[in-house]
Amino acid sequence: MRARWTTPLWLVAAIATASADGAFALSGPTPNEVVIELANSVSEEQVEALQRRFRLTRIESQMVRLSNSTFYRWGVPDNRPVAGIVRALQSNRFVASAQPNYRFALQEKEHVDGRATDALAVAMRCCQL
């Protein structure tokens, strides 16, 4: 059995802290979109083969050096159920993680002293080194 990578703990902590402060609110998944994480060692040809195999359309990608991986946002052009696609992607040996593309809305929350909570400031405060 191969090891699974997970979302970096600093990112989870930042989102959890910001959410606890009311800076983010989950507004549901984006219809017909998935987000997957692949190790940077996966070649572009393998990424394209994976995309063809699951009949997905690449929308964007973002390399994260800290986790040595790339996150891909892919669309489902033929309206297949996202949950089934995610399950199939999770069983692929190249895929470190897969999930529906959840949307988070930024919120401003007033504190007692009158300062607004900035989501980025909350995340930075959580992750200061």
pLDDT of residue 3: 44
**Structural domain count of the chain:** 1
The per-residue pLDDT for range 58-83, each reduced to its tens digit, is: 999 999 888 899 999 999 999 899 99
**Would you say residue 118 has pLDDT above 70?**
no
User: Is residue 33 in a domain?
Assistant: yes
Mean pLDDT confidence for 15-42: 74
Using CA atoms, how far residue 64 sits from 8, 32, 36, 91, 113, in Å, is 10, 24, 13, 22, 36
**Would you say residue 112 has pLDDT above 50?**
no
Q: What is the CATH number of the domain that holds 111?
A: 3.30.70.330
pLDDT of residue 102: 81
pLDDT of residue 42: 94
Cβ partners under 8 Å of residue 88, min gap 6: 54
User: Is residue 115 in a domain?
Assistant: yes
- Amino acid 6 reads T
pLDDT of residue 30: 80
- Name which of 94, 89, 91, 90 is nearest 76 in CA terms: 89
How far is the C-alpha of 43 from the C-alpha of 76, rounded, in Å? 22
User: Is residue 3 in a domain?
Assistant: no
User: Is residue 106 in a domain?
Assistant: yes
pLDDT of residue 66: 86
User: Is residue 81 in a domain?
Assistant: yes
pLDDT of residue 5: 47
> How many other C-beta atoms can be found within 10 angstroms of the C-beta atom of residue 30?
16
User: Is residue 43 in a domain?
Assistant: yes
Domain around 44: 9-127
User: Is residue 84 in a domain?
Assistant: yes
The per-residue pLDDT for range 40-62, each reduced to its tens digit, is: 999 999 999 999 999 999 999 99
How far is the C-alpha of 18 from the C-alpha of 65, rounded, in Å? 23
